[in-house]
Amino acid sequence: MRLDKFLVDCGVGSRTEVKKYLKNKAVTVNGKVETSAKCQVDEKADKVTFQGQVLQHETFVYYLLNKPPGVISATEDARHRTVLDLLDDLARRKQVFPVGRLDIDTHGLLLLTNNGDLAHAMLSPKKHVDKIYQAQVRGIMTEQDVERFRQGIELKDMRCLPAELEIMELDEANHTSLVRITIREGKFHQVKRMVAACGKEVTDLQRLSMGPLVLDENLPIGMFRRLTEAERASLSIFGVVL
Ligand code: URA
């Protein structure tokens, strides 16, 4: 690939910035200063440095975002801020997108990547990837509801796969419940609709996990980080090139 593309891909800067760095002799290829943007490099074999640091070329990037309420899980939108607005320039240059959607008012774990095969595998209805949500509910959830979830809740247009409802706390005085729900599919407003089918209402929804990825307690709401090597390796269960 062209050296300027390599440098942009590595997050060194925009194409224009990269051209300036090249002119200023900040880049070497295999030990020699290189000033031409058109120079061809082999991203696997050639050793490229910028300001003395060796650059590692990545095709795929993976971000864990603790999505806040109020932003939408899309790459662009005319009216609302999107999850991409919360990431860095490198993520946008790498054209990451969210793997699945959370409602605008839902918060918690969201994976963003530019690896289309991985997204496809994780979202495939055949793969039945577990997603765990914590929900604050208006109303008291019961053992009967637990059983209904286990059997597969009947919605207007579909029957849900068996799901787990775990009652964490009941507040009889305020008539509220805190629950954990595990679903293996990802239909529109699914958790809210399942709870509504039991005659109660989700007032707050947070995603805690998706497959092997777990929301990082140390990641403040609205913040993101790259996946760790271990997290990235855990995605190998999906059988795609990472
Ligand atoms: N289920 C919902 O109802 N909303 C979400 O954002 C995710 C799952």
Domain assignments of the chain as residue spans, ordered by start? 3-54, 62-125+212-238, 131-210
Instruction: Provide the pLDDT for residue 85.
Output: 97
- Alpha carbon of 191 to ligand 1 centroid (Å): 5
- Alpha carbon of 234 to ligand 1 centroid (Å): 24
Ligand 1 atom showing the smallest separation from residue 103 Cα: 6
Ligand 1 atom showing the smallest separation from residue 131 Cα: 8
Instruction: Provide the pLDDT for residue 9.
Output: 86
Q: With 0-12 CB in 10 A as exposed, 13-18 as middle and 19+ as buried, what is 196?
A: middle
131-210: which CATH architecture? 2-Layer Sandwich (3.30)
97 Rama sector, left if φ>0, alpha if ψ -120 to 50, beta otherwise: beta
- Alpha carbon of 225 to ligand 1 centroid (Å): 23
Residue nearest to atom 2 of ligand 1 (CA): 189
Same fold, 62-125+212-238 and 131-210: yes
Within 13 Å of residue 91, how many CA atoms lie on the same side as its CB?
Answer: 21
The token duo for 132 is 């765990």
What are the catalytic residues? 103
The token duo for 52 is 């003395």
Low-confidence ranges of the chain (pLDDT < 50): none
Ligand 1 atom showing the smallest separation from residue 102 Cα: 6
CATH topology of domain 3-54: 3.10.290
Instruction: Provide the pLDDT for residue 46.
Output: 97
| CATH class of domain segment(s) 62-125+212-238 | alpha beta
Residue to probe by mutation, ligand 1, list 65, 73, 106, most atoms within 8 Å of CB: 106
Instruction: Provide the pLDDT for residue 11.
Output: 84
Within 13 Å of residue 60, how many CA atoms lie on the same side as its CB?
Answer: 17
The token duo for 3 is 């050296």
Q: With 0-12 CB in 10 A as exposed, 13-18 as middle and 19+ as buried, what is 143?
A: exposed
Residue nearest to atom 4 of ligand 1 (CA): 189
- Alpha carbon of 213 to ligand 1 centroid (Å): 17
Instruction: Provide the pLDDT for residue 230.
Output: 98
